[in-house]
Amino acid sequence: MLGYPLKTLLSAIENRYGREAVVQTLAEAELPADRVYRLNEPYAESEAQRLTVAASRRLSVEDIAEAFFTDTLMRFPTWYEMCRTSREFLEMQPEIHNTFAVGLQRPEQRDAVRDKFRLEKLDDELVVHYRSPNRMCDIYKAIAQRVFQHYHDKANIDEPRCMKRGNDECELRIRWIK
């Protein structure tokens, strides 16, 4: 996993609870207290999973989504300015995700990032195929809800397949309400 989501998690904890909570979260994840995450550097999936579990003791999925949305809006405002609707933004999301992989040295690291998302753009819905050992589909859905709010759109997300339920991937079907 790339460092950007992990950095965002720790920043959200620090903003809400202070530096000591970050140190405690890192300890709970069996990581050094001085661990620093860089945006586009790869980190072990097992480390990401431990940190996410530890962070979720302090932050809800909605808290994580809000922190991620707020950070991306501030750090990468052009992403949002390029799009007129939430659908346009979510159609662009895999490309955004994959840009972080460009700087990775090893091809297998780049492929691991690129292989996490695949889209089907249908007339009446967007189908997101997500496959990651981190199983962060709940966070994706919460961020998507925040994106809907940002663009003043209404949409429903159905998840007929989920890795947490034993499927080989998560399938998120997004339908906009007119």
Which pLDDT does position 95 carry in this prediction?
Answer: 75
Question: What's the pLDDT score for residue 111?
Answer: 60
- Reading the block at residue 87, the tokens are 């659908």
- The predicted pLDDT at position 162 comes to 96
What is the distance between the alpha carbons of residues 32 and 52, in angstroms, rounded to a whole number? 15
In a domain? residue 75: no
Does 132 share its domain with 175? yes
- Are residue 109 and residue 155 in the same domain, yes or no? yes
Check which CATH number belongs to the domain holding 107 and give it: 3.90.1520.10
pTM across the whole model: 0.85
pLDDT in the model for residue 66: 94
Same domain, 87 and 165: yes
pLDDT of residue 164: 93
- Note whether 3 and 41 are within 8 A (CB): yes
Residue 178 is assigned to a structural domain of this protein: yes
Structural domain tally of the chain? 2
Instruction: State the pLDDT at residue 86.
Output: 96
Same domain, 172 and 94: yes
Give the domain range for residue 37.
1-59
Q: Are 125 and 90 in contact (CB under 8 A)?
A: no
In order along its 178 residues, the chain shows pLDDT tens digits of 778 889 999 999 999 999 999 999 999 999 999 999 987 778 888 999 999 999 999 999 999 999 999 999 999 999 999 999 999 999 988 776 656 655 656 666 556 656 677 889 999 999 999 988 888 899 999 999 999 999 999 999 999 999 999 999 999 999 999 8
Phi, psi (rounded to 5 degrees) for 126: -115, 125
31 and 116 fall within a common domain: no
CA-CA distance, 114 to 96, in Å (whole number)? Answer: 10
